[in-house]
Amino acid sequence: MPLAFIPSPSIGEIHLGPLPLRGYSLMLILGIAAAVWLGGRRWAARGGEKTVVTDVALWAVPFGVVGARVYHVVTSSEPYFGKGGDPLKALFVWDGGIGIWGAIAGGAVGAWIGCRRKGVPLPMFADAVAPGIALGQAIGRWGNWFNQELYGRVTTLPWALEIDPAHRPEATSDLATYHPTFLYESLWCLGVAALVMWADRRFRLDRGRAFALYVAAYCVGRFWIECLRVDEAHHILGLRLNGWTALLVFAAALAYLIAATRHAFDSRGDAASDRLLPRPDATSSPRS
């Protein structure tokens, strides 16, 4: 046992009268609220109305939650449809178990619907909300801390995470501290949010390039974090399924970023014909 470590919460929920409030669900709600708040500020800085982000989120969030849960259930189906599994628990999203890849795919479908209804281009909307999504992920990852799940290998580092015996792997049930991969990913996502905002200010990213940068940067962090995790997962050629997904999504995001950047340089003389909203000029207030 290290001299210093991060303790896990003794309880994962509190009761407000007859209603249970789970820490996992609370962090997801706070993450969504933060994403909408920052996305709204960035959208307003582009000349739009903050309420547009909220309106689109009403479509994107439900689709994202469904996509996230479907991805998790499909890629980790044994507890639900395997021997001794309970299919009904596939609906219990508050017990943990969502996949960011499904959340992005489902959320993109919902955002596309919302953007069409509001009459705004999806790439421009995605660029505005990209840092907010990363911020929301950083907050939402703390839900894993409440559930004592998705941690990494055994470690005695000062920032090791203490896991209760009931939540430890059988092979290391006598060892108490593990890499806090939820914390690593939370900090990484904060860095991704800062990177995208800086790059957007510096290079005036548009045509979906800010969103592509967010996706690519997130995938880099997710890949090395996946290499630390010890929870059960499908492996292909010795690599966890989510590791392969991170590689493939990174390649797709990078390819889009390069292609869109080339297109932006080729069409420099065209005064931002794909934008409906004006960017602030050099004399306006700083963008959020």
Does 273 reside within a domain?
no
Enclosing domain of residue 124: 21-265
Does 256 reside within a domain?
yes
Our count of domains for the chain comes to 1
Q: Reduced to 3 states, what is the DSSP secondary structure of residue 160?
A: coil
| pLDDT on residue 96 | 64
Q: Would you write out the chain's pLDDT as a tens digit for each of its 288 residues?
A: 676 789 999 887 877 777 778 898 899 999 999 999 999 999 999 988 989 999 999 999 999 999 999 998 888 888 888 888 888 888 887 666 788 899 999 999 999 999 999 999 999 999 999 999 999 999 999 999 999 999 999 999 999 999 999 999 999 999 999 999 999 999 999 999 999 999 999 999 999 999 999 999 999 999 999 999 999 888 999 999 999 999 999 999 999 999 999 887 776 644 444 444 544 443 343 343
- Give the torsion sign (CA, 110, 217, 274, 53): positive
User: How deeply is 268 buried, as exposed, middle or buried, from its count of CB atoms within 10 A (0-12, 13-18, 19+)?
Assistant: exposed
DSSP 8-state class, residue 123 = H
Q: Reduced to 3 states, what is the DSSP secondary structure of residue 103?
A: helix
The angle at the Cα of 110, spanning 104 to 215, to the nearest 5 degrees, equals: 25
- How far CA 208 is from CA of 87, 155, 222, in Å, comes to 38, 40, 21
Hey, what are 125's tokens?
């909307």
Does 15 reside within a domain?
no
| pLDDT on residue 267 | 66
Q: Reduced to 3 states, what is the DSSP secondary structure of residue 238?
A: coil
Does 10 reside within a domain?
no
| pLDDT on residue 273 | 41
Does 282 reside within a domain?
no
Does 232 reside within a domain?
yes
Query: Which residues 6+ apart lie within 8 Å of 40 measured at CB?
Result: 50, 51, 52, 53, 54
Identify whether the C-beta of residue 56 lies closer than 8 Å to the C-beta of residue 111. yes
Identify whether the C-beta of residue 176 lies closer than 8 Å to the C-beta of residue 1. yes
Does 272 reside within a domain?
no
Task: Produce one character per residue of 129-168: b if its CB has 16 or more CB atoms within 10 Å, e if not.
Answer: bbbbbbbbbbbbbbbbbbbbbbbbebbeeeebbbbeeeeb
268 labeled binding residue: no
- Report the distance separating Cα 227 and Cα 17, nearest Å: 42
Identify whether the C-beta of residue 208 lies closer than 8 Å to the C-beta of residue 188. no
Find, among 187, 146, 191, 131, the residue nearest to 28 by Cα: 146
| pLDDT on residue 274 | 43
Does 285 reside within a domain?
no
Q: Within a 10 A sphere around the Cβ of 66, how many other Cβ atoms?
A: 18
